[in-house]
Amino acid sequence: MPDRIVIDNCALATVDERDTEYARGHLVLAGDRIEAVGEGPAPRDLPDVVWRVDGTDHLATPGLVNTHHHFYQWLTRGLATDHNLFDWLVALYPTWSQIDEAMVYAAARGSLAMMARGGVTTAMDHHYVFPRGAGDLLAAEIRAAAETGVRFTAARGSMDLGTSQGGLPPDFAVEGTEEALTATEEAVDRYHDPSFGSMLHIAVAPCSPFSVSTELLRQGAELARRKGVRLHTHGSETVEEERYCHERHGMGPTDYFRTTGWLGEDVWMAHCVHMNDSDLAAFADSGTKVAHCPSSNARLAAGIARVPDMLAAGIDVGLGVDGTASNETGELHTELRNTLLVNRLGPHREKALTTRQALRLGTFGGARALGREREIGSLEVGKLADVVLWRLDGLGHSTIEDPVAALVLGPPAPVTLSLVGGRPVVEDGRLVTVEEEAVARGARHEARRLARIARG
Ligand code: ZN
């Protein structure tokens, strides 16, 4: 029989279909699965219990699921702070094109540690900068994720449309089309594990309409479907992108994605800020999913995604940190709060999102986006034991009675325990898989090395 972990006396927000909550309940974890969840104490006579956790004054939720990130940007935070997306990209491409394997490893460790410490149990990375001779960048981030102990989707990105071809990135920052497709296919063959409870998925992820050729989008979609893996990209992020698509292709981003095979159940797209009603209908009809990144959208003045309208249309929406060069906090639990606040500044005002909906976006919505809703995203019997225990009796939260309101609206709640498949990643607010100070030192060393090289 598998070892059991019992968590008692905690509030529970299961994020199941009915948003079932328990004021003072229990969780029983057996091996890597959830065996029981309910009100009141766990049965006293369970065999093989190796760990009993007293969850008094805590809220248990499903582990948070991040759906959009760029780990390498951990080394270029706090730069180009007063720019819109295109200006920001143009300012940073030259530095990014100097990254190497040691830098990406250190940046991935930093990004992953920051997220894991804040309750993320499933991470993703969209990596699209592959300078020649830089080493095996994908392997570096996969190694970092395994060491941190979180589930991971590595989206093998690519750019093949340099400025000489009418794209935004400089020619020295892009790959050849065939080169990108071959490397992506190799990554899928080598790493993708589709099994239940997998720690590693690979997705096909050309970067964006203004940095990728139509051919790469088309062939990338074909590759993903031939291999049975998911598709990810950036879409409809800014008015500048919308204008670019109209000028170059004679249509908006969503129509362009439709013509290149990029709408479907197996696609999740970052941002989706500038969407009209027919774009939303196209997403809903095709089952295309959204990675909503409210802090990054605010930092780059991109706009407010129509999340309430997406949810009303039946579109699945998850949350994304986005790269830490456009969201320096690097934390997902702060996005629960920011999605609620940002969307209330839109036309739906106080009806835009509830605290429960915000929590759902960061958990089950993310699981849907990554195609893992049978495994993760809610606390239900048979699902993986990806659980976070948030401490709510401290200064920041002790006067908020409603635990979900405390988590979503209060300051970032300390994580007393975070489990991935029943294995601890955080205990008493500290990472147990990696040493936080060493990660911070390593990242600073590589950030300074990158800045020196970029200065020439
Ligand atoms: Zn992004």
State how far the alpha carbon of 138 is from the alpha carbons of 57, 103, 134, 157, 187, in Å: 41, 12, 11, 10, 8
Residues 265 and 214 in one domain: yes
Residues 341 and 257 in one domain: yes
Residues 285 and 140 in one domain: yes
Q: What is the pLDDT of residues 9-62, one digit of tens each?
A: 999 999 999 999 999 999 999 999 999 999 999 999 999 999 999 999 999 999
**Does a structural domain hold residue 108?**
yes
288 φ/ψ angles, rounded to the nearest 5 degrees:
-65, 140
**Does a structural domain hold residue 226?**
yes
CA–centroid distance, 327 to ligand 1, in Å, is 10
Residues 278 and 405 in one domain: no
CA–centroid distance, 11 to ligand 1, in Å, is 34
CA–centroid distance, 8 to ligand 1, in Å, is 39
CA–centroid distance, 269 to ligand 1, in Å, is 10
CA–centroid distance, 332 to ligand 1, in Å, is 14
Tokens of 117: 């410490």
**Does a structural domain hold residue 150?**
yes
Residues 184 and 288 in one domain: yes
What's the confidence (pLDDT) of residue 65?
98
CA–centroid distance, 296 to ligand 1, in Å, is 8
Output the domain CATH number for residue 226. 3.20.20.140
d(CA 66, CA 207): 18
Residues in the chain: 456
**Does a structural domain hold residue 13?**
yes
**Residues 268, 232: contact at Cβ < 8 Å?**
yes
**Does a structural domain hold residue 259?**
yes
**For residue 53, which of 105, 126, 17, 4 has the smallest C-alpha distance?**
4
Which residues of the chain have a pLDDT value below 70? none
- Angle, helices 239-249 vs 85-96, to 10°: value is 80
CA–centroid distance, 424 to ligand 1, in Å, is 29
Q: How many other CB atoms are found less than 10 A from the CB of residue 7?
A: 24
CA–centroid distance, 204 to ligand 1, in Å, is 14
DSSP 412: P
Residues 225 and 211 in one domain: yes
CA–centroid distance, 346 to ligand 1, in Å, is 22
pTM: 0.98
Output the domain CATH number for residue 12. 2.30.40.10
Residues 210 and 149 in one domain: yes
Number of domains making up the chain: 2
CA–centroid distance, 88 to ligand 1, in Å, is 12
What's the confidence (pLDDT) of residue 456?
87
Among 369, 393, 411, identify where a domain stops.
Answer: 369
d(CA 30, CA 1): 8
Three-class secondary structure of residue 164 per DSSP: helix
Residues 224 and 302 in one domain: yes
CA–centroid distance, 413 to ligand 1, in Å, is 26
CA–centroid distance, 61 to ligand 1, in Å, is 26
**Does a structural domain hold residue 446?**
no
CA–centroid distance, 234 to ligand 1, in Å, is 6
CA–centroid distance, 15 to ligand 1, in Å, is 27
CA–centroid distance, 128 to ligand 1, in Å, is 10
CA–centroid distance, 216 to ligand 1, in Å, is 18
d(CA 178, CA 262): 19
**Does a structural domain hold residue 105?**
yes
Three-class secondary structure of residue 85 per DSSP: helix
CA–centroid distance, 211 to ligand 1, in Å, is 13
Sheet strand arrangement including 231-235: 64-65, 120-127, 151-158, 200-206, 231-235, 267-271, 289-292, 317-319
CA–centroid distance, 124 to ligand 1, in Å, is 11
Q: What is the pLDDT of residues 110-137, one digit of tens each?
A: 999 999 999 999 999 999 999 999 999 9
Residues 352 and 410 in one domain: no
Domain ranges, residue 334: 64-369
Residues 263 and 208 in one domain: yes
What's the confidence (pLDDT) of residue 103?
98
State how far the alpha carbon of 199 is from the alpha carbons of 152, 195, 354, in Å: 6, 9, 31
**Residues 127, 72: contact at Cβ < 8 Å?**
yes
Residues 308 and 339 in one domain: yes
Tokens of 379: 């606390």
CA–centroid distance, 126 to ligand 1, in Å, is 7
CA–centroid distance, 323 to ligand 1, in Å, is 6
Tokens of 315: 């579109």
Residues 298 and 179 in one domain: yes
Q: What is the pLDDT of residues 422-433, one digit of tens each?
A: 999 999 999 999
Say if residue 1 is exposed, middle or buried (CB neighbours under 10 Å; 0-12, 13-18, 19+). Answer: exposed
